[in-house]
């Protein structure tokens, strides 16, 4: 299973890079070519499934995995880099069911984002999304065992102003 995940990640990076923004549409205010921090609001979709209707792409997500992407209100697509801070998108369906606010690094000459922080919008209010170990009082950005005691961490969604 792990080799399938590695193969998927490599394939998704190669596949999704073909859909990066054209040069003319890229940010001309960042000539140094540095990644910049952005805050994006939208929903998680599968890039391959999104391309199915307009371009007759035949998704093979059951075998190859999903190419998860943030789709903003203006229909811009930002594929998630498959890094540890974005793991919850692949591992927890709740992230794919919510309207999210994603703080991320956006890289020049591409539309890939590296997640810094996930938040959700519920009833017009911003909520922090994370996992918490009630035994060790340790928070994490992905599900699974606690890094300290190995007990499972619990999903939390708390109003953002309570966590400052």
| Domains of the chain with CATH codes | 2-24+33-123 (2.40.50)
Q: Is the dihedral of CA 128, 129, 130, 135 positive or negative?
A: positive
User: 71 vs 57, which has greater pLDDT?
Assistant: 71
Question: What rounded mean pLDDT belongs to the chain?
Answer: 85
Q: What is the mean pLDDT of residues 68-77?
A: 96
Task: Summarize pLDDT for 13-35 with one digit per residue, the tens.
Answer: 544 444 444 433 444 555 568 99
Structure confidence at residue 63 (pLDDT): 86
Q: Is the pLDDT of residue 160 over 70?
A: yes
Distance of alpha carbon 89 from alpha carbon 97, whole angstroms: 10
Distance of alpha carbon 42 from alpha carbon 2, whole angstroms: 29
User: 60 vs 11, which has greater pLDDT?
Assistant: 60
Q: What is the mean pLDDT of residues 51-55?
A: 90
Residue 155, CA atoms < 13 Å, CB-side half-sphere:
13
Share of the chain above pLDDT 70, in %: 79
């Amino acid at each position: 299973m792990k080799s399938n995940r590695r193969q998927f990640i490599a394939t998704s990076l190669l596949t999704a890079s073909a859909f990066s923004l054209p040069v003319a549409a890229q940010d001309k205010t960042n000539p140094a070519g540095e990644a910049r921090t952005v805050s994006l609001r939208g929903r998680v979709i599968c890039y391959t499934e999104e391309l199915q209707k307009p371009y007759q792409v035949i998704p093979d997500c059951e075998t190859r995995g999903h190419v998860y992407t943030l789709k903003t209100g203006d229909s811009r697509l930002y594929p998630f880099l498959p890094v540890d801070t974005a793991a919850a998108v692949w591992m927890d369906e709740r992230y794919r069911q919510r309207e999210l606010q994603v703080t991320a690094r956006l890289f020049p000459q591409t539309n890939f984002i590296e997640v810094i922080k996930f938040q959700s919008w519920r009833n017009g209010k911003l909520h922090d999304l994370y996992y918490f170990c009630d035994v060790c009082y340790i928070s994490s950005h992905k599900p699974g065992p606690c890094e300290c005691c190995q007990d499972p961490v619990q999903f939390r969604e708390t109003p953002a102003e309570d966590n400052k």
